[in-house]
Amino acid sequence: MQEVTSVDKKTVLFQKHTDLKAKMVPFGGWEMPIQYEGIIAETEQCRKSVSVFDTCHIGEFRFKGNIATSGIEKAVSFYIEKIPVGRCKYGFLMNEDGGVVDDLIVYRLAEDELMIVVNAATCENDFNYMNSLLDGSSEFVNISEKISKIDVQGPFAKDVMKDIFDADFDNMKYFGFSHVTFDDKEILISRTGYTGELGYEIYSDVSQAEKIWDSLLADERVKPAGLGARDILRLEVGLSLYGQELDENITPVEAGLPFFVTFDKDFIGADVLRKQNENGTDRVKIAFEAATRRSPRHGYEIHADGKIIGEVTSGVFSTMLKKGIGLGLVETDFSKTGQQIKIVSGKTQIDAKICELPFYKGGTARKK
């Protein structure tokens, strides 16, 4: 989990976290809860029941204009025009070298209207970069300060949501969304998440956040979870974190995410990615399991055959597997499944082997 030490912002739910005696830490320029009752307990809660996460720090942009001609298409790695209204799509905001400026989700609100969801730490840079690519004919606004975002995740999330919100959750598809009235105001609920479990993300006006939070926690099946649990949950199912598996110097091909790139589309950096997809890369992302409970950490060296072959990008103790797990970037020649490796930091050495993703295969994210 990447942390930023400078803190100048608090979410609208900050007092709620304080009342729940959450441990707060700096993250992406925000003061955020890392845990409430404990990281392991919160991870197990999400896998077995329902957890609620404050993600109000995440950034949102609103676009309105001609998608085909405005310049918005050249910024991202997939065709925005091909997203049906009422659906959303994950992909990348790209630079000219094929690196990832950010990973994002684009919501198709109408034929000429989008909501673009980005990471907190990169929000301002993302907005300025995307705005510089537009031709001036469209409306493009950073609405982050007006929007709150709360995530509801876990195998019984749909049952909880049905009891609170009037939406057709039975027919809401994965990466689909609906507009719902709550407390006389319109909110947006999407079937998305970052845990590998059945889940929903709720976007509302900031004035509604506390009432939504309280309504969810009034259900005895629901408990709050912090960033610590969220990091374990996403890593157990192999999801990437911007700033670790992805950044401006790591391409989607190197990161093992070519399925989120439309290679026949012309976008910034597309030529670089096409060449990498055809010819391969010198380094690739790998997943590995430790032989013990010891946790690998970001920046630890990865060794094989007596030499350094790469480094760990993310690592945790897996609550479900009861062992250390991680992701890393290594030389392609040493990336085969089953390859024995050592994770090294000073005197610390952890025996591990490269494995397939996901680590945890019991997730309910695509449950019907």
pLDDT reported for residue 367: 87
Rounded-to-integer distance, Cα 36 and Cα 253, Å: 37
Rounded-to-integer distance, Cα 120 and Cα 243, Å: 12
Rounded to the nearest angstrom, the gap between the alpha carbon of residue 103 and the centroid of all alpha carbons in its chain is 8
Rounded-to-integer distance, Cα 235 and Cα 315, Å: 8
Per-residue tens of pLDDT for the chain, all 368 residues: 544 445 679 999 999 999 999 999 999 899 999 999 999 999 999 999 999 999 999 999 999 999 999 999 999 999 999 999 999 999 999 999 999 999 999 999 999 999 999 999 999 999 999 999 999 999 999 999 999 999 999 999 999 999 999 999 999 999 999 999 999 999 999 999 999 999 999 999 999 999 999 999 999 999 999 999 999 999 999 999 999 999 999 999 999 999 999 999 999 999 999 999 999 999 999 999 999 999 999 999 999 999 999 999 999 999 999 999 999 999 999 999 999 999 999 999 999 999 999 999 999 999 87
Phi, psi of 234, deg, nearest 5? -70, -35
The burial of 85, by beta-carbon neighbours within 10 Å (0-12 exposed, 13-18 middle, 19 or more buried), is given as exposed
Rounded-to-integer distance, Cα 105 and Cα 55, Å: 14
Structure-token match 């070519």, residue found: 258
Same fold? 9-57+145-236, 282-368: no
Rounded-to-integer distance, Cα 154 and Cα 352, Å: 30
Q: Tell me if 367 sits within 8 A of 196, measured CB to CB.
A: no
Pick among 1.10.1740.10, 3.60.110.10, 3.40.50.300, 2.40.30.110: CATH of 282-368? 2.40.30.110
Phi, psi of 42, deg, nearest 5? -70, -35
| Helix boundaries (H) for the chain | 14-19, 39-48, 123-133, 157-164, 209-217, 227-236, 270-279
Q: Tell me if 54 sits within 8 A of 143, measured CB to CB.
A: no
- Record the tokens describing residue 323, joined without a space: 């062992």
Amino acid identity of 343? I
The 3-state DSSP class for residue 129 equals helix
Structure-token match 């790209």, residue found: 94
The 3-state DSSP class for residue 34 equals strand
What are the DSSP E strand ranges found in 111-228?
113-118, 139-142, 147-153, 177-182, 185-190, 199-205, 222-224
Rounded-to-integer distance, Cα 97 and Cα 234, Å: 27
- Per-domain boundaries in the chain: 9-57+145-236, 282-368
Strands 9-10 and 30-35 turn out to be parallel
Rounded to the nearest angstrom, the gap between the alpha carbon of residue 212 and the centroid of all alpha carbons in its chain is 22
CATH code of 9-57+145-236, in short, is: 3.30.1360.120
Q: What DSSP letter does each residue of 39-100 carry, written as one string?
A: HHHHHHHHHHSEEEEE-TTSEEEEEES-TTTSS-GGGBSS-STTSPTTBEEEEEEE-TTS-E
Q: How many CB atoms lie within 10 A of CB 283?
A: 19
Q: Tell me if 251 sits within 8 A of 273, measured CB to CB.
A: yes
pLDDT reported for residue 28: 85
Reading across the β-sheet that carries 30-35, which strands appear in turn? 9-10, 30-35, 23-27
Rounded-to-integer distance, Cα 275 and Cα 225, Å: 42
Name the DSSP class of 356. P
Q: How many CB atoms lie within 10 A of CB 103?
A: 24
The 3-state DSSP class for residue 182 equals strand
Q: Which residues pair with 35 in a beta bridge?
A: 23
Amino acid identity of 77? S
